[in-house]
């Protein structure tokens, strides 16, 4: 595969994208914050299969980090990331500086109501305002035909779907399955923060979800009892601190009392100082 074209300004990214569109070529877009792993690679490969051109953004977005979060230490590995993009078949990479994306006197933000006041939105106030604003800007810059998002960030995916619809971007949002390590741990750029012992303990997230799936398949429907079962499982790990465990309607993200239709079983757990998320989407047939 040839090296992807590295674009660092909005103007040159717009020029590249508009030229491809004028030539009648479809554009697939994969927005990332870098520190790419096999999960990101799967998104790029999917985009490669379904589009004439593929562009990846690599931008650690400051506006989605809270004051006590890991913005400054978030891994920045552009050289390695470009190699992943090349191997996965990306044609271009947009990697701007913060000053390129945000004017000093910027005063416009994108908020999606309702879907952002639960799950990660509750424990990370302002997070989704930052996510939606930067994704809206990227959508305007690239104007892709399709954009690819992983299901691991399930709330983010649902929020972006709503924003795309409500603001008439007209982009096809393509959800992609969670990619896991061989032992079940969901791939994340933050996994590299874990010590070997914490890495072992982090398996409690996927184990709890698998236990919940088995219980649902066995006929259990009481959401509070299922949550209690997962809570007990995770608390067995000494370094685990639960942020939330919720079972919500997959569309509205509202808590449910009984598991019916399609639900999202979502959890966020700190292992030491590293906050990890994971989820399970499951559909229960009525009756």
Residue from 40, 127, 207, 220 carrying the catalytic annotation: 40
CA distance 78 to 162: 31
Terminal alpha carbon distance of the chain: 51
User: Rounded to an integer, what distance in angstroms lies between the CA atom of residue 175 and that of residue 161?
Assistant: 10
Beta pairing partners, 274? 271
Chain centroid, CA 223 distance in Å: 25
Per this entry, what is the length of the chain?
A: 287
Please list the alpha-helical segments (H only) found in the chain.
10-22, 38-50, 78-88, 98-101, 120-123, 127-142, 154-166, 196-201, 203-217, 223-234
CA 40 to chain centroid? 10
State the number of CA atoms in the 13 A half-sphere of 44 facing the CB. 27
Q: Is 127 a catalytic residue?
A: no
Active site amino acids:
40
């Amino acid at each position: 595969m040839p090296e992807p074209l590295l674009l660092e300004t909005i103007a040159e990214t717009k020029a590249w994208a508009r030229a491809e569109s004028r030539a009648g070529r479809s554009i697939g877009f994969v927005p990332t914050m870098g520190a790419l792993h096999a999960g990101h690679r799967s998104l790029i490969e999917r985009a490669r299969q379904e589009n004439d051109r593929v562009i990846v953004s690599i931008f650690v977005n400051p506006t989605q980090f809270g004051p006590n979060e890991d913005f400054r230490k978030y891994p920045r590995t552009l050289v390695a990331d470009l190699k992943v993009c090349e191997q996965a078949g990306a044609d271009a990479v947009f990697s701007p500086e913060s000053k390129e994306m945000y004017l000093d006197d910027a005063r416009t933000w994108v908020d999606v109501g309702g879907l952002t006041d639960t799950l990660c939105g509750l424990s990370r106030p302002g997070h989704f305002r930052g996510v939606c604003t930067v994704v809206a800007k990227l959508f305007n810059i690239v104007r892709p035909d399709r954009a690819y998002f992983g299901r691991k960030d399930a709330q983010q995916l649902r929020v972006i779907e709503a924003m795309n619809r409500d603001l008439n971007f007209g982009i096809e949002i393509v959800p992609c399955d969670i990619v896991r390590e061989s032992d079940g741990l969901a791939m994340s750029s933050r996994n590299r923060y874990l010590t070997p012992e914490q890495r072992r303990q982090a398996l409690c997230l996927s184990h709890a979800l698998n236990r919940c799936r088995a219980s649902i398949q066995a006929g259990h429907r009481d959401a509070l009892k299922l949550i209690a079962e997962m809570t007990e499982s995770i608390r067995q790990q000494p370094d685990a601190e639960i942020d939330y465990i919720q079972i919500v309607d997959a569309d509205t993200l509202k808590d449910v009392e009984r598991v019916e239709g399609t639900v999202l079983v979502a959890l966020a757990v700190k292992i030491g100082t590293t906050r990890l998320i994971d989820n399970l989407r499951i559909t229960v047939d009525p009756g």
